Structure 1
Amino acid sequence: MEYTNQKYEISDSVRISPIVLPKAVAGFKFTTNTIITSTKIVSGDNVTVNCVEVSLPDYCKVEGKINQRTGEGPTGTAEYYIGFELRLPTEWNECFFFEGGGGSDGVIKVPVGLRHTGTMPALARGFATVATDAGHQGLNCEFGYDQQARLDYAYNAIDQVTVTAKFIINEYYGRHEKYSYFVGGSNGGRQGLVAAQRFGDYFDGIVVGAPALNLTNAAISEMWAIQIFAEIAKKDSNGNPMLNTAFTDADMKLVSTTIIKQFDDADGVVDGLVFDINAARKFDPSTLPKKTANSDGLTDEQIEALKKLFEGPKNGKGKPLYSNWAWDPGISDAAWRDWTLGTDEVLPRNITLGVESMARVFTTPVAANYDPANQLKWVLDYNFDTDPSKTVLAASYQNSLSTNYDTFKKHNGKIILYHGMADPVFSAYDTISYYDKLTDKNGGLKATEEFARLFLVPSMAHVNGGPSTDQFDMLTAITDWVEKGKAPDKIIASGSAKGLLQGITRPLFPYPIQTIYDGKGNKNSAESFVAKNL
């Protein structure tokens, strides 16, 4: 289909059912510069959720482009547009669901609504679902050379796609949606905060997981971690540090074991989960076993490296440049290593994703000395006294740190935040700090809990994973809050069907409430745990 004088001409190659699509998408008059590239009816789709196969309803799949244009690229001009995919179920529940993106975006996630929606994804529940590539195509960060592409990635794509999707929904079904929801994690979590802060009347309920709310400063922390590990890592034949050798799996397991011995029983049961977030602040790395001729342990330089890492990045004057990190036993899991240390075969994602983002998207202008073929060298040359100032401009429109939710609150919007304590990408403490500021600016904890609540997940890695109870249904929690007025006083979380905590359930209480064993029930059941006020 091509846009011509505010009408669409449907080509013979597009499959249209006059029964399921009485209007098709013909004649839609968009207020945005939108091109519909494909529509088709899909039936018989299945998805797997936590090892369970779920059938999806019949739906109309609509793909399109918004604001197609020519912009700047690394070596000249480049083509850009905001791509989206919208799925319109035959049996619609009259609700709209925006699936947040992740990483540097550049691809459209399949808009099914899988992230922390229990065993029943959003599309299977009858939501009309949409996702976007955030205004650029491809997994690299070459879009950082174009200012409009940066703005699309930061916030504009959320606006454009929401307006366009709601228009199509209204035209397609002949009525408006009753409720609108946004659910995302990581950069998708940042996008959820963007939606609440910038477009406060677009969504009734928002779920924000492990948000990249302080995105540019978190990227500084990634540079910090790489330099720390490089200092103590073994060198390859070319003299380059092999980051994964800084700490072995056994080294990190020793750290976790030490944390567990000191703090795990504070919640009344030894299960590898430290629910007391203050315990994660109290850990003293000097208590870690030291390596001797007769015993295993960590070297002095390894202990010092961990101390620097968990204190967070600082400039030469000792000024913090991001947040500190939680001493959570989940840091020994492969999910933590995947981001921070990598393996013999695979570089850590702090390098493969973080370095290019810093050089080409968060730095203004784009770092002239950045070499995609030698990312490690660029990081090792990063200067924490002079280079962080180059992220200030990008931070002004990419970070989502505002505490002004006036429009969102007037719209009666609700927002759930959640964060894993063993997250290696964005510090859970940074999200906690943000939530504390949110309560300060919105009348205190009780008043803030009327529209926003934060849940912390022990040992969960980035968005999910880790030796944790990382399976939970945030979609039901947010819809019950929005549509029934039932605020989430607790959310039941379970271990993955393939994880170490299979069969174990725990309640997640809203911060700052802690989870405590009642001393008498089944230690594997959420029913045996109660809330404790700090």
Structure 2
Amino acid sequence: MENFVKPPLLRRALASLAAAVALTLGTGTLLTGGSAQAGTAQAATEATAPVMDCADIAALDLSGIIGAPTQIAAATELSAHDNPLGDWAACEVTGLIAPQIQFGLKLPMTTWQGSYLQVGCGGNCGVVGSGSAPAADGCVPMTDGAFAVGTDNQGHFGTSMSSGLYGIDPTLKADFGYKSEHQMAVVAKDIIERFYGESAGHSYYDGCSQGGHEALTEAQRFPTDFDGIVAGAPANNWTAHTFQHAWNARAVFSGDDGEATLTTADLAPLHAAVLTGCDATDDGIVEDPIACTWDPGSIQCADGQTSTDDVFCLTETQVTTVRELYSGPLAENGKLLYPGWQLRGSELNWAGVIVPTTATGSTSNKTNVDERVRYLLYPEAHPELSWDDVEFTTKNYKKLMKLNEGMMDATDPDLSAFKAAGGKLLIWHGVADPNISSVASMAYYKAVEKTMGGADATTDFARLFLLPGVAHCGGGQGPHNIDALTAVVDWVTEGTAPDSLVSETVGSSGTVTASRPVYPFPYIAVPDGNGDYTRQVSIAERDLSVDYLGSFRSGYETVSNWVHGQWVTTSGKS
């Protein structure tokens, strides 16, 4: 078996590239707002002009790039009017890094100010996005064309939440697991240097969900690829995350004949009950959900009682379902199989993700696990499996981790090489995320603190921001528009660490309808009753302890390659 695709496959892939490259980024829609100093980054840098024609990029021979042989499919000028990223003209380059890393690169024609931005993917990826960056609303370098912007499909063709068949090809799985973003960075920087006659002065990475996973993979495995990294709602505990989604599905679809015990009609009254028990400030958001211990048994229907629109109550079965969602996936010994759970206050965001519209409907949790158990978790395909075949046992946990964590996970808390290289990392997460528990980001960040010398030593280069009421990569009930990208650029270029961000809700007319500050973990913003906020330490977050079957540690990573026709896996990061 060969490491790279045979020429016919490569030609077919290149032929399909031009038609596919304009697909929308798979991280989900995320409108973002400004930090306290939004739009300040790179404002005074002089633009650098290209030293070659855009069309000439198509003739470049990039086949000799070590580890990332590349062919250019097209290089055409994109007018400012047609650029979805902002009012700036670009040279739009499309190409393929062997075997199937399809990419797009927008090179500013007259506005480049010396930096490169790589934007992550979402779900199972499989498509090349437009380059629209999450958590970057109001970021002037983005809208003014100061960045060269690159995106890729993470090494395979497909759709965001399906088409997991690539997982049974070890080369494609490795590209998805840890290789593609590094290879994309190498190729993009090579093209940038040829086009402008000089290398990028600074490089940044911005991604959410799977893009957040990619972001942390870069910080851990390839610490010199990027100077600044924004990792939103990272799916970095990829293998164990399977247990969370499968657990949610088992809890919800536990009714007669496998029907759902909860539907979306139950979520608003359930959420209202949670607010009554947990929202002391009456602002409709649970500011400190880790500290909330509200029990759904408090609204269990009495004997003979039926829930109505006027008086909502839960059946005994529904109480069990909600308790299991709040507990997280547990093994037979009571330990968590994934370092997270659904937080109280996130209930409205369960719609479609955890809870179906109708009792016989489906959810994205079920779909996600189906793809994983069939094509991604095992060396061979198992199309007969589905979400309800997942066993919540210590034995199964160890089996799946052994098969996958070395290639697929990004949970190493040792970021010393990234810090030594001058790297800056901003992790952000919606507290009410129904898809990837924000507890998992808290647990990872606390492990980084422990490994990197404590809280103060960690905040020198890495900070975590938690957005109350916000769902997965945006949306939800809390203000979710932030500009984390400008904050990281300022941190890298000016040495100004972000002590706060501003999260906003922006209406359809572009008017800001709500805003609140967001502080670095473990600080939270608490309404003072007069329309303002005070900064307080969340004792619950600071003292968070997760009784997790796994651990955040170094040394689990593996690297894999074809050697003399054999797929060889060894310990290592890169």
Q: TM-score, normalised by structure 2?
A: 0.78
1:59 match: 90
Question: Does the CA-based 8 Å contact 2:524-2:535 persist in structure 1?
Answer: yes
Distance in 1 between residues matched to 2:332 and 2:288, nearest whole Å = 33
Distance in 2 between residues matched to 1:149 and 1:21, nearest whole Å = 30
1:71 match: none
Matching residue's letter, 2:534: V
Matching residue's letter, 1:381: D
1:379 match: 387
Q: Alpha-carbon deviation of 1:408?
A: 0.7
The question of 1:506 aligning with 2:526 is answered: no
The question of 1:364 aligning with 2:361 is answered: no
Question: Does the CA-based 8 Å contact 2:264-2:356 persist in structure 1?
Answer: no
Matching residue's letter, 2:387: V
1:191 and 1:154, CA in 2 relative to 1: closer, same or farther beyond 3 A? Answer: same
Q: Alpha-carbon deviation of 1:149?
A: 0.9
1:283 match: 294
Question: Does the CA-based 8 Å contact 1:89-1:123 persist in structure 2?
Answer: no
Distance in 2 between residues matched to 1:249 and 1:481, nearest whole Å = 42
The question of 1:309 aligning with 2:300 is answered: no
Matching residue's letter, 2:116: F
Work out which of the residue numbers 116, 119, 124 in structure 2 matches 1:96.
Answer: 116
1:133 match: 153
Give the paired residue count.
475
The question of 1:340 aligning with 2:354 is answered: yes
2:235 match: 212
The DSSP-based 3-state class of the residue aligned with 2:392 is: coil
1:399 match: 409
Distance in 1 between residues matched to 2:466 and 2:332, nearest whole Å = 32
Matching residue's letter, 1:464: G
Distance in 2 between residues matched to 1:116 and 1:472, nearest whole Å = 5
The DSSP-based 3-state class of the residue aligned with 1:231 is: coil
1:35 and 1:47, CA in 2 relative to 1: closer, same or farther beyond 3 A? Answer: closer
Distance in 1 between residues matched to 2:506 and 2:298, nearest whole Å = 32
Question: Does the CA-based 8 Å contact 2:329-2:341 persist in structure 1?
Answer: no
Q: Alpha-carbon deviation of 1:27?
A: 4.0
Question: Does the CA-based 8 Å contact 1:259-1:327 persist in structure 2?
Answer: no
The question of 1:196 aligning with 2:208 is answered: no
2:425 match: 415
Work out which of the residue numbers 98, 112, 130 in structure 2 matches 1:110.
Answer: 130
The DSSP-based 3-state class of the residue aligned with 1:400 is: coil
RMSD: 2.5
The DSSP-based 3-state class of the residue aligned with 1:432 is: helix
Q: TM-score, normalised by structure 1?
A: 0.83
Question: Does the CA-based 8 Å contact 1:207-1:478 persist in structure 2?
Answer: yes
Structure with larger RCO (C-alpha < 8 A, sep 6+): 2
1:317 and 1:24, CA in 2 relative to 1: closer, same or farther beyond 3 A? Answer: closer
Distance in 2 between residues matched to 1:57 and 1:420, nearest whole Å = 32
Q: Name stretches of at least 5 consecutive residues in structure 2 with no aligned partner.
A: 1-6, 8-14, 19-49, 539-574
Distance in 1 between residues matched to 2:127 and 2:69, nearest whole Å = 20
2:369 match: 354
CA deviation string 1:191-213 (max 9, x = no partner) = 00000000001101000000001
Distance in 2 between residues matched to 1:309 and 1:448, nearest whole Å = 32
1:254 match: 269
The 10-residue stretch of structure 1 (20-29 or 351-360) with the greater mean CA deviation from structure 2: 20-29
1:519 and 1:320, CA in 2 relative to 1: closer, same or farther beyond 3 A? Answer: closer
Provide runs of 4+ in structure 1 moved above 6 Å.
none
The DSSP-based 3-state class of the residue aligned with 2:346 is: helix
Question: Does the CA-based 8 Å contact 2:289-2:345 persist in structure 1?
Answer: no
Percent identical pairs in the alignment equals 29
Q: Alpha-carbon deviation of 1:323?
A: 2.8
Matching residue's letter, 1:229: V
Distance in 2 between residues matched to 1:288 and 1:163, nearest whole Å = 56
The DSSP-based 3-state class of the residue aligned with 1:262 is: helix
Matching residue's letter, 1:176: S
CA deviation string 1:52-91 (max 9, x = no partner) = xx743100110111113xxxxxxxxxxxx11111110111
Work out which of the residue numbers 143, 150, 157 in structure 1 matches 2:166.
Answer: 143
2:105 match: 86
Q: Alpha-carbon deviation of 1:293?
A: 4.4
The 10-residue stretch of structure 1 (509-518 or 448-457) with the greater mean CA deviation from structure 2: 509-518
The question of 1:435 aligning with 2:445 is answered: yes
Q: Alpha-carbon deviation of 1:367?
A: 5.0
Work out which of the residue numbers 205, 221, 241 in structure 2 matches 1:182.
Answer: 205
Question: Does the CA-based 8 Å contact 2:54-2:75 persist in structure 1?
Answer: no
Question: Does the CA-based 8 Å contact 1:28-1:171 persist in structure 2?
Answer: no
1:121 and 1:390, CA in 2 relative to 1: closer, same or farther beyond 3 A? Answer: farther
Matching residue's letter, 2:69: N
Distance in 2 between residues matched to 1:285 and 1:293, nearest whole Å = 16
Work out which of the residue numbers 483, 487, 511 in structure 1 matches 2:497.
Answer: 487
CA deviation string 1:387-445 (max 9, x = no partner) = 43442221222111101112111111000001111111111111101111110111110
Distance in 1 between residues matched to 2:130 and 2:142, nearest whole Å = 11
CA deviation string 1:156-190 (max 9, x = no partner) = 11111100000000000111111100000001000
The DSSP-based 3-state class of the residue aligned with 1:504 is: strand
Matching residue's letter, 2:59: A
1:162 match: 185
2:535 match: 531
CA deviation string 1:283-320 (max 9, x = no partner) = 22322353624842111111111111221112233232
The 10-residue stretch of structure 1 (345-354 or 59-68) with the greater mean CA deviation from structure 2: 345-354
The DSSP-based 3-state class of the residue aligned with 1:495 is: strand
Matching residue's letter, 1:171: R
The DSSP-based 3-state class of the residue aligned with 1:155 is: helix
Question: Does the CA-based 8 Å contact 1:275-1:515 persist in structure 2?
Answer: yes
Distance in 1 between residues matched to 2:239 and 2:81, nearest whole Å = 39
Work out which of the residue numbers 463, 484, 487 in structure 2 matches 1:474.
Answer: 484
Distance in 1 between residues matched to 2:423 and 2:271, nearest whole Å = 39
Matching residue's letter, 2:70: T
Distance in 2 between residues matched to 1:399 and 1:249, nearest whole Å = 32
Q: Name stretches of at least 5 consecutive residues in structure 1 with no aligned partner.
A: 4-10, 49-53, 69-80, 236-240
Question: Does the CA-based 8 Å contact 1:251-1:297 persist in structure 2?
Answer: no
